Amino acid sequence: MSRRISVVTAVHAPAAHHLADAYKSLLEQQLPEGWDWQWVIQEDGETDEVAPHVPDDDPRVSFAQGRPGRAGMARTLGLSRAAGEYVKVLDADDMLTPGALARDLAALTVNPSLGWATSRVLDLLPDGSTVGFDQDPPNGPIERGAVLKHWQAHDFRAQVHPATLFARRDLVLALGGWMALPASEDTGLLLALSAVSRGWFTEETGLLYRKWPGQVTSHPSHAEAEERAARMAVVEARAAALEALDGWRFGTA
């Protein structure tokens, strides 16, 4: 039986039509011999609008629904079906670039002391053009706690993108999965992982991050000041508390 990478996708009805592009990007992935992926799709809700967009002829794909609770809860519910040694985030409206999974896998198998990996991301705009990020770190390891320090110093913006996250499944479970927040739940997990383990950044583009009017982060409520401050406060407090637990670390420096 192949060793597996569990690609976890939370989806709600407005984004369901993008699943076809996400699936196409998975089909283009080439992994080392003995490895394969499974795609765990979890609907944030119980509608009839998502299932028609889920591939029904690929045994590597599973689909389930649950009560609506935002993306963090959907992804964490999806972990119940994640059988792989590693978990890869793939939002329903995004696309992996060719080779992304293999590069993530190589980073963690070659460096067993690392707990997670991320990669360069390009924003995919509605006109088909792309825009990069001007604060990417160097290709290579990211030291424990470095993401939190950068995030604190740059108006709560990390130098690596949580939508590209690839992590050891047991470590994700030990940290409780994604945070129970209406947004920034992926940043919360990224900072928690960084607080307890070293990570990796790949300078090659690993994700096309689609920008479109229906995405959750484009809604005005995402930037509402009071809620944003509360989200950032609890994300920061969790990461700082984990960082302070010197006996709770993954791997070695």
- Tokens at residue 227, please? 């809620």
- The pTM for the full model equals 0.94
97: DSSP letter: P
Question: Nearest-CA neighbor of 70 among 240, 227, 249, 229?
Answer: 227
Confidence (pLDDT) at 222: 59
For residue range 6-39, list pLDDT tens digits in order: 999 999 999 999 999 999 999 999 999 999 999 9
- The residues near 176 (Cβ < 8 Å, ≥ 6 apart) are 76
All residue ranges of the chain with pLDDT < 70 are 1, 214-223, 247, 252-253
Q: Give phi and psi for 42, each to the nearest 5.
A: -125, 115
Confidence (pLDDT) at 89: 98
Instruction: Please report, in angstroms and rounded to a whole number, the separation of the first and last CA atoms in the chain.
Output: 33
For residue range 156-190, list pLDDT tens digits in order: 999 999 999 999 999 999 999 999 999 999 999 99
Classify strands 114-124 and 130-131 as parallel, antiparallel or unpaired. antiparallel
Confidence (pLDDT) at 224: 80
Confidence (pLDDT) at 220: 64
CA torsion 86-44-230-220 (nearest 10°) is 120
